[in-house]
Structure 1
Amino acid sequence: MSVSTLEKAPAPAVRHATPGLVRTVLRLHRTALWIWLAFVAFTAGLLLWLTGPGADATAQKLETLGYSGGVMEAAYTSGTLLYFTSGAYNDLFYDPDTLITLASFAIALFAGGPLIARELESGTAQLAWTQSVTPARWLTAKLAVPAAFVVVGTGLLTLLYRQLWSAHGNLLIAGIGPRSLYFSLGPATVAAPLLGLALGALIGLAVRRTLPALAFSGFAYFLVYAFRGNHWPFQGRYQQPELNSSSHAITSTGARISDPGCYTNKNCLAKHDIVRFTREYLPSPDYWPRQLLETGILLALTAAAVALAFAVLHRRATAV
């Protein structure tokens, strides 16, 4: 066998390393994968229920109470039955937003701990680097595989959330400002957990210890979340820039008039011949500029964290 043949022999192993490494990542972290799939299925099921049976049941109950327009301005003042009829649906409406936020924290913790730091701490990563897998390929697979599942899962949930918002935003309790959804209806919902993944990987590579990496990853993403909620460009703690409403009253003849604001005053309702109300929640005109601005910043920070992660990996691998 010639020298040139010997030099070319390892090539097939390197060429097939990436698919094999993807399978290894899936097999090694199959528990986390099943948890993620279960989370997506549960949250999607909740969104579909809110869009279908939950909304229909709430609208029917409200109609029997005389609120056929589906608007709940009187929910806090007109009685216990109406409050529970509307309040339960209103609270559930925001639960997917909470679940998606918690999932982003979980992704950062997973990336910092089990995905990266644990393999460095146990020596599994160093063993892989001595085989046919380069450190760069190893980290690429470690990031690409979970990133693909994160994008598909959060993308699906975002689409379902937008469908729910468009179809049944009128079933939210009005009378006070609706709670902000923290941009859970657009692409920033997908970009945020990707930043958590990148930060977790960077911290895992820097710390190389599972428990400290978990703690630092969670803290780092908490800072990102707090910054988004309070100091993000064009957004503040008391602002709800993505929400806008249009409210009208409907008379017995079907005419639409300006909302006089007398939702529980029977004399006022009779005076204006009002039989029901309508209210529509819409994105504000500058919703998409803000949404795209936040998405761009999140993706830029993600790219910076990934670049730093590869730089730290190169230094670690060179030291080994």
Structure 2
Amino acid sequence: MAETGEAEILFERRGAVGLVTLNRPRALNALSLAMLGAMQAQLDIWAGDAAVTRVVLRGRGGRAFCAGGDIRQIYALAKAGAHASVDAFWRAEYGLDATVKRFAKPVVSLIEGLVMGGGNGLSVHGSHRVSSESYSFAMPEVGIGLFPDVGMTFVLPRLPGSTGTYLALTGARIGPGDAHAVGLATHHAAAGDFDGIVDDLASGAPIAAVLGAHARPVPEPGPLVAARACIDACFCADTVAEILARLDADGAPFATEAAALMRTRSPTSLVLVREQMRRGAGLSFPEAMLTEYRMVSALMRGHDFFEGVRAAVIDKDGAPAWDPATLDAVDPATIAAAFAATGGPEPSFTGSS
């Protein structure tokens, strides 16, 4: 249950709007398996309800729209040997992302605060992503021995230049100005106007008109846009080692910071993600989701995800012991195996899974 005594996720029919509120503010609205299942069931209902013409997603608390999947829950389930439940989590999360992507009605995300991991899976595949002044995007999975999932295999390689690869390999945060510049956000409004936006959307007014009426000027782009030349020159390299070499040779503060950040990440994740970004550019959305399911299934049998979660959220010592500890020691066969079929029944992510 949520800290307020209410459910972890709330659903409301408000006029023409089907309103979803993520309701775990102390957990930064992280997605539990129960939340994923409840939202999937509700979207299935609203898909067939002619009175609901648009869906609106919000997060409670102001600090985060959604910080991602509940990795603490996944860690606990895996450590308890509940591997079927871990698999059910990934199937549910990726299946929900696919539902949002193909949903026949507009999905409007009102994003206040952090939007990371699974929060991007819910929002970025929808039709409208409204940033606010506190909007902060990141896909920091390489820092916990994972990879940018929830459909980022499809999204990030399609961002301008090498910006998607940069975001994937560093896990760096960007603000609303940069997010608009690369297409991750579509509209901008003050968080204080979000209640009014919901009310106006509930009236059935055209979405474009409502968002236009509440629009605020998009903030100026930040470091991502300012460093585009460096990003495109360095992050187009074929290997992680070459990317780091180019960043080191560049020597500017942005390049030095990016290289330092990457060197704290899981070497296995870095090599895996470079290949993920290469493959993702040529995959359809369902193919990208299936690829992610295969990748995450492989990593759940490995070491670094559990060590990364331990260091980040369990013991919080910030000192993960990656295995292997260096890029040179990452086995190419391990990377290739992560993209191979699981050998068991796999979801299709096309609506029939």
TM-score w.r.t. structure 1 length?
0.26
Select the structure of larger CA radius of gyration: 1
Indicate the structure with greater helix content. Answer: 1
Higher relative contact order (CA 8 A, sep 6+): 1
TM-score w.r.t. structure 2 length?
0.24
